[in-house]
Amino acid sequence: MALKGRKSSSKNPPILSHEFVIQNHADIVSCIAMVFVIGLMVQVTSPFAYMFIGVHHNVTREQDGVISEAPEVIRYTYGWKDVCAVFFYFLICIVMHAIIQEYILDKISRKLHLSKVKHSKFNESGQLLIFYVMSVLWGGDVIFRENYVLNISSLWEGYPHNEMVFMFKFFFIVQLSYWLHCYPELYLQKTKREEMPARITYATLGLIYILGAYLLNFSRVGICLVVLHYTSEALFHAARLIYFLDKAENGSKAGYLVANAVFVLVRLGSIILSVLTFWYGLSLSDNQGLDVERGNFNTQIIRIAALAAVCILQAWLMWNFITFHLKRMRELEPAQPVARKPKQEKKSASKRKKEENKRNVEDDELPEVDQNTNKSLRSRATAAKSK
């Protein structure tokens, strides 16, 4: 089964041309990914291929120098082999993006007959909604399994949190892979130049914040903040899709109202959670100091920097939210019609204005004297002009 990319007016573009790569990028990338999968079946290449497909840096069997034959929970830490895993799942994200685009979104958009601008927003919201919903369900499952909701102090107790279960670590690898795949998608999806800055900014922020939480061992508070943020974003993109699908616009108004309310609550909740973790919880920890080998980054500078980074992001998102809605309110305000004066009033007003202007001109021509002799001087000036 061949996977199709973006359709082009040219049926048979030249091989290795830009149009050929864009049109067949899903097939090309899937073939590269299949090389690693087939490598698992060969004994010589199996270790190399597994380095890209599997999750590495298992620390369960190395605890206290005792080899455990059947550990109850296998735990992992991060390391350089994670780069290989991120690259492989980066390829998988490109393939999945093309599958969703071709077999779900394109079929729906053909029936809607959207304009070019709305078609681009529809595709963006469709892709992001699927990713956000999957991430919220996945991250929520990890949060409830690790009991972070009922035991909020576990977000900072026992730091450094450099050990993760399989699904926990795999969650961060997929997140990094997804935001990395957004950069080539700008080319593969023929994104317009005016849309690129916003998408690049959003992908870069997601990549930097998730990578920072992963490398600094703030993974517990990081996954909670990610799930909160993705929940508000999922509601927004769901409301936008309802707007495109619902011609009556009744459902979209309710959807946007819920999304806006949740957006504000999530910003507030993210700041509260960050303050509790970085300002209060980690500052009371006995394990203070910088130790890169153990993965301990619990210093005052790093805590303040992490808290400031989260608060600045929330403030920036809130600023964009407020400015967008203020601009929209101005656009929706009806223009106030100017009341027209009757013709007679216009004529009388214009006549009075001319007389006033004439008097002002005559006053300017006269020298500065007392106001009592102004009338006599004006009459003499008019008499002189008549002569």
| Each residue's pLDDT tens digit, 95-114 | 999 999 999 999 998 888 88
- Which of the four pLDDT bands, split at 50, 70 and 90, describes residue 383? low
DSSP state of 339: P
What pTM does this model have?
A: 0.81
- In this prediction, residues 147-170 reach a mean pLDDT of 91
Q: Provide the pLDDT confidence category of residue 313 given band limits of 50, 70 and 90.
A: very high
**Spatial separation of the C-alpha atoms in residues 377 and 19, rounded to whole Å:** 87
Contact partners, residue 151, CB within 8 Å, separation at least 6: none
How high is the mean pLDDT of the chain? 84
Report the pLDDT value the prediction gives residue 208, as an integer from 0 to 100: 96
Does 350 have pLDDT greater than 90? Answer: no
CA dist 262 and 255 (Å) reads 11
Give residue 185's pLDDT.
Answer: 94
Range in 14-23, 31-40, 286-295, 330-339 the model is least confident about: 330-339
| Residue 344 pLDDT > 50 | yes
Q: Which of 96, 110, 115 is nearest to 177 (CA)?
A: 96
Element (H, E) at 160: none
Phi-psi category of residue 299: left, alpha or beta, with phi > 0 → left and psi -120 to 50 → alpha: beta
Provide the pLDDT confidence category of residue 377 given band limits of 50, 70 and 90. Answer: low
Return the higher-pLDDT residue of 294 and 70: 294
Alpha-carbon span 153 to 371, nearest angstrom: 86
Q: Residue 368: what pLDDT? A: 45
pLDDT at 253: 86
In the predicted structure, residue 215 carries a pLDDT above the cut 90: yes
Q: What is the rounded distance in angstroms from the CA atom of residue 141 to the CA atom of residue 135?
A: 10
Predicted pLDDT of residue 135? 97
Most confident of 242-246, 341-345, 357-361: 242-246
Residue type, 265: L
Q: Return the pLDDT at 340.
A: 53
Cα angle at 25 between 24 and 27, to 5 degrees?
Answer: 70
CA-nearest of 182, 218, 176, 383 to 307 is: 218
Q: How much is the pLDDT for 212?
A: 95
Task: Answer yes or no: are the C-beta atoms of 170 and 141 closer than 8 Å.
Answer: no
Sign of the four-CA dihedral 94, 173, 303, 132:
positive
Residue 369: pLDDT over 90:
no
